[in-house]
Structure 1
Amino acid sequence: MQTPLDIYSVIGFVGTACIIGAYFYLTAVKAPNPFILHGTNLAGAALLTVSLLVHTNVPSLVLEGFWAAIALWGLVKALRSRGAGEDTA
C-alpha cells in the first residue's frame, strides 16, 4: 500500500529531523545547551504529533506525548538552573 506524501507527512518528516538532529547534537557536542537540545526535541515532538493526528498511529502518538513531556521538563529544569545562577550544561 502506497501512501501519498501530503503536507502532514512532510511536517512529520521535519519533526523526525528535529529529533534526530537533537540526538546528534547531544552526541556531538561536549557540553550541549539544554535549551537547544530540549527545545529541538519539543519542536520535533510537536511536529510529529501534528502528523500523527492526521495519520493516526496511537502508540507513536503516546510516544510523542512522553517525548514532549520530557522535553518540557528539561526546559523547566534548565530555566530554573539559569534563574538560580547555576551552570546549565
Structure 2
Amino acid sequence: MWKDEIILNKLEVSHGNIILDLHVPPTALLGSGGEQFAIEALKHTFFQFGEVSSIELLVDGEHKESLMGHIDLERPMIRNEDREH
C-alpha cells in the first residue's frame, strides 16, 4: 500500500504521544479509499501499544488538513479504547 516514494522525515515519541512527519510526493498519492486505509493502518499499528495515546501526523513538517487530499486528519488522532483493543 505504501509506495517507496513516501519517506519518513522524522518520528518523535514523548510520554505516549507520537509525532510522525512524512514526505508524500504527488506521485505517491492514493485515492480516498487508499488514503483512509493508510490512516487506519497507521492508527492500528501504533495504538496496538498500550503506552501510545495519540498520533500527530505531519506532512513535510506542517499540519495539513489531509494526508493525500481526500480525508480530513484528526489533530491529534486519539486512542479510542473501544475500537483499538
Q: TM-score, normalised by structure 1?
A: 0.30
Between structure 1 and structure 2, the one with the greater Rg is 1
Larger strand proportion of the pair: 2
Larger helix proportion of the pair: 1
